[in-house]
Amino acid sequence: MDKPTLKLIAKELGISPSTVSKALNNYPDVGENTRQKVQELAASRKFVPNSVAQSLRQQASKLIGFITPNAVHYFFSNVLYGMIQTAQASGYSVIVLCSEDKIEFEKEQLEILMNKNVDGIMLSLTDHTTTYDHINKVVDRKMPLVLYDKISKFVNCSKVTINDRKIAYDATRYLIERGCKRIAHIRGALNSITIIDRYLGYKKAIKESGLEADETIIYESREPTIEEGIRIADLFVREKKNIDGVLAFTDSLAIGVILRLNELGVKIPDEVSVIGFSNSVQTLVVSPSLTTIDQHGFDMGKKAVETLLKEIRARKKKEAVKFENVDVPTEMVIRKSTR
């Protein structure tokens, strides 16, 4: 039997191929009787529409691109889940790429998505992205773009983030209000706005409280990992910094601190209180359980897709596009690593 096509179905039913296409897509100007016959015959012949041809007719690929700097991180996996759920509910598929926090991969992957003519792109920058020509190339092509989580003020597009500065300020204040006077901050290199804002939120809380602003208890991690948390905890204990509180910019760093302090016999939270960021599964299994900031990754993914689709629809209708800055609420999850 010949492979079923619109023309063959049309010939068998004695109608035009355009009527078959409209019936399959539930156009209102096709009668119910005709629509039912077309759909039943198409199902019996196992007819599969040509998605490429459909895309050309509709001038849309129904594909959106998603670039994450980390595919296995708890937060980013939640973001991805929220994106896929929301995209599929609107009839879109998601192409998922991981930059592995490398700027050269980020550049290559943006080119891949542009060449595939996706309808829009969602991107979280690497911690090493300090130039933006490759991203502005997407904007210049009028391709809908949403930056999420790790963003840049040098790219003119919609952005979906949390208020990193405020939540870091609130977390530091929480430690201060519970009696901490020597609060260390573990951060990454000051490249991304996310890391900068958490650092500034921490500094603001220290300054407003009247505590000593000691730059020697601000530690820069090489990577946001448990191993780095262990290394840095070793460092500040060996240096006898008398630290009684730690704000780490990821859960993994905070967990590394807890593991090493436990080994050294430092009592948590009696001697040192620790707070992380993400609310990953590991925060519940480490002992004591970790107080952390829940960034609501699923909600961020959902909002990023909704914002992107809004721009896709506006551009399709040739309407003016208004870029948005969407703030996703966060919450502090209090557990046993703080007083």
Q: What is the DSSP string of 47-85?
A: ----HHHHHHHHT---EEEEEES-SSSHHHHHHHHHHHH
- Pick from 40, 37, 18, 41: which is nearest to 29 by CA? 18
The DSSP secondary structure of 256-276, one letter per residue, reads HHHHHHHHTT--TTTT-EEEE
Among the ranges 24-28, 53-57, 272-276, which has the highest mean pLDDT value? Answer: 272-276
The identity of residue 88, as a single letter, is Q
Pairwise pLDDT comparison (163 vs 55), residue with the higher score: 163
- pLDDT score at 2: 60
Count the neighbouring beta carbons within 10 Å of the beta carbon of residue 2: 6
Q: What sign does the dihedral 205-208-209-210 (CA atoms) show? A: positive
Q: What sign does the dihedral 180-184-187-193 (CA atoms) show? A: positive
Query: What does DSSP say about strands 291-294 and 331-333: parallel, antiparallel, or unpaired?
Result: antiparallel
Instruction: Say if residue 58's pLDDT is above 60.
Output: no
- pLDDT score at 12: 86
- Pick from 169, 163, 178, 166: which is nearest to 334 by CA? 178
**Strand locations in 83-144, DSSP E?**
93-98, 120-123
Q: Supply the mean pLDDT for the chain.
A: 91
- pLDDT score at 148: 97
Q: What is the dihedral of CA 81, 84, 88, 90, to 10 degrees?
A: 100
What are the b/e assignments for 138-156, b being 16+ CB within 10 Å?
Answer: beeeebbbbbbbbbbeebe
The identity of residue 39, as a single letter, is Q
User: What residue has token string 């952005």?
Assistant: 159
The DSSP secondary structure of 200-236, one letter per residue, reads HHHHHHHHHHT----GGGEEE-SSSSHHHHHHHHHHH
Encode pLDDT of 165-220 as tens digits: 999 999 999 999 999 999 999 999 998 899 999 999 999 999 999 999 999 999 99
Instruction: Say if residue 141's pLDDT is above 70.
Output: yes
Could you tell me the pTM of the whole model? 0.79
Task: Give residue 33's pLDDT band: very low, low, confident or very high (50, 70, 90).
Answer: confident
CB neighbour list of residue 57: distance below 8 Å, 6 or more residues apart: none
- pLDDT score at 26: 65
